[in-house]
Chains A and B, each alone.
Chain A
Amino acid sequence: MLMEDTAEGDCLVVSLMEERLDAVIAASFKDALLERINQGQRHIVLDMAHVGFMDSSGLGAVVSILKHLGTKGWLHLYGVTPGVMAVLKLTRMDRVFKTFDSRQAALVS
C-alpha cells in the first residue's frame, strides 16, 4: 500500500496512492492512520484523488479513523472521485464526512 504524508502546520495531509480502497488494503490503511493518530496527529486531510473505487471495507476503515479521532480532532476528505462519492451517497455517509474540492480548502476549513 502506497501513502505519502505531508505536514502542513498542525495538519497532516495523507495522500493514498492507490486506485482501490477495498478489502485488500483496508486493514493496513486503517492501521497506518491509527498509528499516526496515536502518535499525536489530530487534524488529518485525506487526499483521495487517486482512489477511484471504494468498497464497504474501505469505507469502514475511513469511518474507524473518524471515530478514533472523535472530538479530539477532525478528518477532512479532498479529491473525492465520482466513484467514491457514489458509495458515500449510497450509504448516506456523505452526510458524515466533510469533503472539499481543494487541498487548501480542506486545510483551512
Chain B
Amino acid sequence: MHSQAHLRLMMPATLQDARAATESIVKLCDRFKTEDRALYGTAVMELLVNVVKHSYACAPGAVVTIHVISGPHSIQLIIEDTGKGMLPGRLANAPHELSFDATDVAGLPEAGMGIAIVKSVMDTLQYETECGINRLTATKRWTR
C-alpha cells in the first residue's frame, strides 16, 4: 500500500484470531525495514492479545474492531473493544524499558513485558474510553 488506505477488520477475541489478524496487518507493511517489520508485528500481536486476555478475558463471542490506516509517512492502528478496558494511566505509566539484572536468573520477568515492547516499537500511543468503547491508537512511522 503506497497511498492512503483504510482497512477494517472485525476480529473474534481469540488468540488464534489475534495471530491471524497480526499476520494480515504485517503483510500490508511493505515500508518497514525488515527488522522493524518483525518488531512491528510483535507489537501488534501484543496489543491484540492484551485485548483478548485482559479486556475480554477470552470471553466467547466477543469482537475486536481494528482499523488499519496506511498513509504516506506512517501506519496507524486503532483497536476498539467493549470489554473491561485498561485502568487509567496504566499505559502512560508503564515503562519503555524492562528493568532486570541479567545475571539474576531467579529474578527475571516472565510476564508483563508486552507493554514495554509496544512502547518501544510504536512512535505514539493513545488510549481512551468513551461511551463504553475502549480505543487504543498506535502510530508508527515508516522506516523505508
A residues at B contact (CB < 8 Å): 20, 22-24, 52-57, 59-61, 63-64, 66-67, 70, 82-83, 86-87, 90-92, 95-96
- Tell me which residues across on chain B come within 8 A of A56, comparing CB atoms: 42, 46, 111, 113-114, 117
**Prevailing SS type, chain A contact patch:** helix
Known: A22-B45, A23-B45, A53-B41. A91 touches B19 (CB 8 A): no
Interface residues on B, range: 20 to 34
Interchain Cβ contacts within 8 Å, total number: 84
Contact with A along B108-121 (1 / 0, CB 8 A): 11110110110011
Q: Does the CB pair B35–A24 fall under 8 Å? A: no
**Prevailing SS type, chain B contact patch:** helix
A56 to chain B, nearest CB (A): 4
B10 within 8 Å of A by Cβ?
no
Closest to A53 in B: B41
Q: Does the CB pair A64–B15 fall under 8 Å? A: no
Contact partner, B110, options A22, A55, A60, A95, Cβ 8 Å:
A60
Closest to B17 in A: A24
B16 within 8 Å of A by Cβ?
yes
The contact sample of 25 A-B pairs, CB cut-off 8 A, is: A20-B19, A23-B45, A24-B15, A24-B16, A24-B18, A53-B38, A53-B41, A53-B42, A55-B114, A56-B114, A60-B109, A63-B109, A63-B110, A64-B110, A66-B105, A70-B105, A70-B106, A82-B34, A82-B38, A83-B35, A86-B39, A90-B117, A90-B121, A91-B117, A95-B102
